[in-house]
Structure 1
Amino acid sequence: MTTRKVAANISITLDGRYNGPGGPGDLSPIVPYMGTDTARDHMARMCEGATTALLSRGNGQGFLGYWSPMATDENADPRDRGYAKWLVDAEKVILSTTLTDVPWERTRVLNAPAADAVTELRSTGTGDILVNTSPSILKALLAADLVDRLYLIICPAIAGGGDHLFEDGLPGTRWQLTFQETGEAGEVAAVYDRIRAVSPTNS
């Protein structure tokens, strides 16, 4: 077993939602803060040390069209271009029960629960595993207590409806704030590391 860490990035509102009352496609409470300097710096930060991108089917397909061209776009923000290049070059694992066509190079599809997929990925390889804005995967891993680091953008908006990230029934856990930055628009970039008990060693 390797010591690969599992990290995840997502943006949430003050009332803990990752979309608005219009459903999964309603990102109106989030979009105004996605392109700020604080959010872009946060995006660059989360790639450091990560070698595998873990994606849901929706993101696995949708990210291709958006990020691939940006990897070589000299007019793009350097931080966007850096993230795009990282994503193109990284190992990509898409969790899906129906997807058969692999959309990217260095990509494979796993028809498995998120916890099983992470257990497999942790058994080999090096570098962090980054769950990229995939709430269905992140929720499952939080429920299994398999997330070691959270990269959050906390948006100064109350959505008033939509899907919550942290649902009732999650195991109680403790986290340490290891980074925090506030943007000009009031958004907060925060990094939380899971506090785990250290196993005693034989003396």
Structure 2
Amino acid sequence: MRRIVMINWVSVDGFFAGPNGEIDWMIRDPEVDQVLHEPRAGETESAGSDTMLLGNVTYTLFENSWPNIAKDPNAPEELHKLADEVIGMTKLVFSRTRQEAPWENSKLFHGNLVEEVEKLKQVEGSPIIIFGSGTIVHQLTNAGLIDEYLIAVTPVILGKGKPLFSDASKLNLRLLEARSFQSGNVLLHYERP
């Protein structure tokens, strides 16, 4: 069965975006990015995935930023590598309002999120990664469909913003790993028992 892995950056007070969706408060950390690509328990190859699941807002943000980063000669090498990886991935876009998803390797879904993800999990393949996409995280957490949670906590208190787990039902998780980095970021890796 294919696993669903959520990867998100949050502030110390649990927000994954500022009040207006801003993410400029995140402390980018190549060390964290590297760890996210290491094999995890039970895996023999890179933890990388060839598929990501996105909501409309995150898809639009990625579509408007990653191609520009890939072309930017002044962007750090690790960001170029990450941009190329994101651009090459299959992007499963869930939206009620978007009529098309023109970015390469994108597939648009309008159906029931939970039902579609249940079907996707039955297909063999590498893990499906969820970035951002708070509404999707909320729905799939409540449906018990996210298998792993990788949460990078940035040493910033926002005070207000968009909480990652808004209105989520209680879910006990098992800690697999906690790692701290010189940047002050802490990566927490949990799984659903």
Question: Are 2:55 and 1:56 aligned?
Answer: yes
For the Cα contact (< 8 Å) 2:173–2:190, is it kept in 1? no
Question: Are 2:156 and 1:163 aligned?
Answer: no
The CA distance in 2 between the partners of 1:109 and 1:53, in whole Å, is 12
1:58-90, CA deviations, whole angstroms, 9 ceiling, x for partnerless residues?
121221221124346565333322222222222
1:16-47, CA deviations, whole angstroms, 9 ceiling, x for partnerless residues?
12233xx142435x33x1x2233433454598
Q: Identify which range, 147-156 or 98-107, moves more after superposition.
A: 98-107
The CA distance in 1 between the partners of 2:85 and 2:168, in whole Å, is 35
The CA distance in 2 between the partners of 1:106 and 1:135, in whole Å, is 22
1:83-142, CA deviations, whole angstroms, 9 ceiling, x for partnerless residues?
222222221111011212222122110012332221121132411100112111111111
Tell me the residue number matched to 2:16.
18
For structure 2, the 5+ residue unaligned runs are: 40-45
Tell me the residue number matched to 1:9.
7
The CA distance in 2 between the partners of 1:10 and 1:56, in whole Å, is 14
The CA distance in 1 between the partners of 2:188 and 2:52, in whole Å, is 20
The CA distance in 2 between the partners of 1:167 and 1:133, in whole Å, is 13
The CA distance in 2 between the partners of 1:43 and 1:69, in whole Å, is 23
Q: Which of 21, 34, 37 pairs up with 1:41?
A: 34
- Matched pairs, number: 187
Tell me the residue number matched to 1:173.
172
Change (3 A) 1:43 1:119: same
For structure 1, the 5+ residue unaligned runs are: 196-203
SS at match of 1:18: strand
The TM-score with structure 2 as length reference comes to 0.83
Tell me the residue number matched to 1:198.
none
Change (3 A) 1:122 1:108: same
Tell me the residue number matched to 2:184.
186
Which structure is larger by alpha-carbon Rg, 1 or 2?
A: 1
Change (3 A) 1:137 1:123: same
SS at match of 1:68: helix
For the Cα contact (< 8 Å) 1:44–1:83, is it kept in 2? no
Q: Identify which range, 122-131 or 41-50, moves more after superposition.
A: 41-50
SS at match of 1:59: helix
Question: Are 2:20 and 1:27 aligned?
Answer: no
Q: Percent identity?
A: 23
For the Cα contact (< 8 Å) 2:21–2:162, is it kept in 1? no
Please tell me the root mean square deviation across aligned C-alpha atoms, in Å. Answer: 2.4
